[in-house]
Amino acid sequence: MKRIAILQSNYVPWKGYFDIIAAVDEFIIYDDMQYTKRDWRNRNQIKTPAGLQWITIPVYSKSHQQSAQRIRDTEITDADWAKAHWKTIMQNYRKAPYYEEVAALLGPLYSGELPSNLSRVNRLFIEAICNYIGIKAKISNSWEYSLADGKTERLVNLCLQVGGTEYISGPAAKDYVDEELFYESGLKLTWHDYSGYPEYPQLWGDFLHNVSILDLLFNCGKNSPSFMKHALV
């Protein structure tokens, strides 16, 4: 059995995103899709003493009058974004139990020479975090494969190209996925469940689940998978 998941890339996404990666053998980053403004592609939230705060990568976005812009073609407009993000992260997580350990992982990324392409930046952070918490799934990009027409047809075809037997999907896709096409192709379709996450020790007020995984890492270090669906350590 080979399990596959296909999701658009997000910037330092929440723990549920990484749980889907942990549940599969190959994770395909689906950045041939249209870039959407004010979404998770180039931003996420962290906790601060003043509440939730967005950290956003500034990108060039075409106007509605122009042709659609794919995520994979989206370019970053300000080379100093990483320095500003790291300063914000340090200010708000210095008191976290695993600050030094996680800073040793992320600091070099934020202070190094990052690509100007959003997809490539997102993948760098996703891979670094997967390695840190022990996720072993192969990560690939959708543009490495042929892409069929049709929303569900494309997902089915990608699974078949990589030898998949089961497709793991986030629950939001129930609104548009044609389940019968998976079954007709001999693929098992499994809906991932985001409910029932345990709380972990968290800074700054009431507990919140829907924040960047950075929050979990700084507070729990390599024990982070114990507070996810897939205990990896």
Tell me what the mean pLDDT of segment 33-57 comes to: 96
**Residue where the block lists tokens 């997102």:** 122
In a domain, 232, yes or no: no
Least confident of 59-73, 105-119, 136-150: 59-73
Where b means 16+ CB within 10 Å and e means fewer, 12-51 reads: bbbbbbbbbbbbbbbbbbbbbbebeeeebbbbbbbbeeee
CB atoms within 10 A of CB 65: 5
Answering whether pTM is above 0.85, one says: yes
Average pLDDT of the chain is: 95
pLDDT at 65 over 60: no
For the stretch 162-177, pLDDT in tens is 999 999 999 999 999 9
Query: What pLDDT is stored for residue 68 in this prediction?
Result: 84
Selected residue with higher pLDDT from 233 and 56: 56
Q: Rg for the chain (alpha carbons), in Å? A: 18
The total number of structural domains that make up the chain: 1
In a domain, 156, yes or no: yes
pLDDT at 188 over 70: yes
Query: What pLDDT is stored for residue 59 in this prediction?
Result: 97
Q: Cα angle vertex 63, ends 57, 69, to 5°?
A: 65
Query: What pLDDT is stored for residue 231 in this prediction?
Result: 55
In a domain, 136, yes or no: yes
In a domain, 188, yes or no: yes
3-class DSSP state for residue 151?
helix
**Residue where the block lists tokens 């967005």:** 54
Range of the domain at 209: 3-227
Tell me what the mean pLDDT of segment 180-201 comes to: 96
Query: What pLDDT is stored for residue 61 in this prediction?
Result: 85
In a domain, 233, yes or no: no
Beta carbons within 8 Å of 145's beta carbon, 6+ residues apart: 28, 158, 161, 162
